[in-house]
Structure 1
Amino acid sequence: MLKYLMLVVVFVGSSWVHPMHVSVCEINFNQKDHSLEFTHHIFIDDLEKSFRQSFNKPYLDINNPDVGKTTDELVAAYMKKHFKVTVNGKSALPKYLGHEVENDAIYTYMELDGVKTLSSIRIFNDVLTEVYDDQVNLVHVEIGEDISSMKLTPQRKIDELKF
């Protein structure tokens, strides 16, 4: 419940004013399917600013990037570089599944198969820290009814949870 309230406050409240730079990653441990499911919520204008800097373009529309790559190719490459996972002490590469755009946010989806148990998860997340020195990347890990969270910043890009 708290997780959803925080998402509503962050994304709805900031749709009028975008005073802070924040992304939210939700990680769900699907025990039945032995997988981790990742959903990232990122403001479109912030991600577009990062892509504009990368491609040295004054304008870039994430829905029609016009840089020789599709939106999914851009986002998948970006996430692979800026979001890394270590599960139970072993590095893992989540598979990028796709994205959705809703209002002023982009939702990206990734999955990591073959996770039978979850004793620890280490996250490297420097999404948008190349653009904003006040960027905050929240990570919520849900195992059944339990939710644990991390707050990652440009000064602290890595954190670990043990279960």
Structure 2
Amino acid sequence: MHKFLKISILLLLLPLTGFTAIHKFYVSTTDINYDRESRAIQIVSRVFADDLEKTIDNRYEIKSGLISEHELPDADTYLENYYASKLLITVNGRKVTLRYLGKEYKDDMVVSYLEAVDVPLPTSLKTENKLLYETYPEQQNIVHIRSGDTRKSFLLQKDEDQCVLKFDK
């Protein structure tokens, strides 16, 4: 009876472990903060390194070598161009120019830093986040927007890749 119980449990758990190995969850997180004192939008984007590397490599037909000792010397240029085309911010109806500041690696994530300077106090902030959709159509991008005491989070997907937050003055 004891052996039968072990085999039964194993047979119940086996399909569950097999399913998780087949399916991967694709998600990124982007924090957007408007700093009133410096009149700047500060952005921190966290993306799984292997997903970002595959997307960059396919898009630019390169071997970027992200998170390896073989990383291309100009990998940041590719990341800067990618973010410029896939992460768009509009404040009060006007598109702002994001400046790529750099990246760091934390665990299995690429953490990228961007900013926009000389930005007026927002009454509305629109975000268009299309990161990784060309490689992973099931990608989900979580966006957290904050200015002062106002904060809101959004879950963006390929067909719904924009969000707008309106602020009280």
Classify the TM-score, shorter chain: 0.7 to 0.9
Kindly report which structure 2 residues correspond to 1:20-31, keeping only aligned pairs within 5 A, or say none.
Answer: 20-31=25-36
Query: For 1:46-65, what per-residue CA distance to the aligned partner results, in whole angstroms no more than 9, with x for missing partners?
Result: 001112222445x5411444
Pairwise CA RMSD of aligned residues? 2.0
Query: What CA distance in whole angstroms lies between the structure 2 residues aligned with 1:80 and 1:95?
Result: 8
Partner SS state of residue 119, structure 2: coil
The correspondence for 1:122, drawn from 126, 136, 142, is 126
1:47 matches 2:52: yes
CA apart distance, 1:125: 0.9
1:94 aligns with 2:98: yes
Q: CA deviation at 1:114?
A: 1.3
Scaled by the length of structure 1, what TM-score is found?
A: 0.81
Q: How does 1:1-163 map to 2 (within 5 A)?
A: 19-56=24-61, 60-63=64-67, 64-66=70-72, 70-163=74-167
Paired with 1:84 and 1:36, the residues of 2 have a C-alpha distance of 12
TM-score with structure 2 length normalisation? 0.78
Distance in 2, Cα, partners of 1:119 & 1:55 = 37
CA separation of 1:76/1:60 partners in 2, compared to 1, >3 Å: closer, same or farther?
A: closer
Give distance in 2, aligned partners of 1:72 and 1:129: 20
**How far is the alpha carbon of 1:107 from its aligned partner?**
0.7
2:78 partner SS: helix
Which 4+ stretches in 1 moved above 6 angstroms? none
- The one-letter amino acid of 1:95's match is R
Residue 93 of structure 1 aligns to which amino acid in structure 2?
T
The CA distance in 2 between the partners of 1:133 and 1:154, in whole Å, is: 6
Structure number with bigger Rg: 2
Kindly indicate whether the alpha-carbon contact (under 8 Å) linking 2:64 and 2:75 is maintained by their aligned counterparts in 1: no
Q: Percent identity?
A: 28
* Deviation of the 1:101 alpha carbon: 0.9
For the residues of structure 1 that align with 2:137 and 2:94, how far apart are their CA atoms?
Answer: 30
Contact 2:144–2:151 (8 Å) recurs in 1: yes
Counterpart of 2:88, as a letter, is K
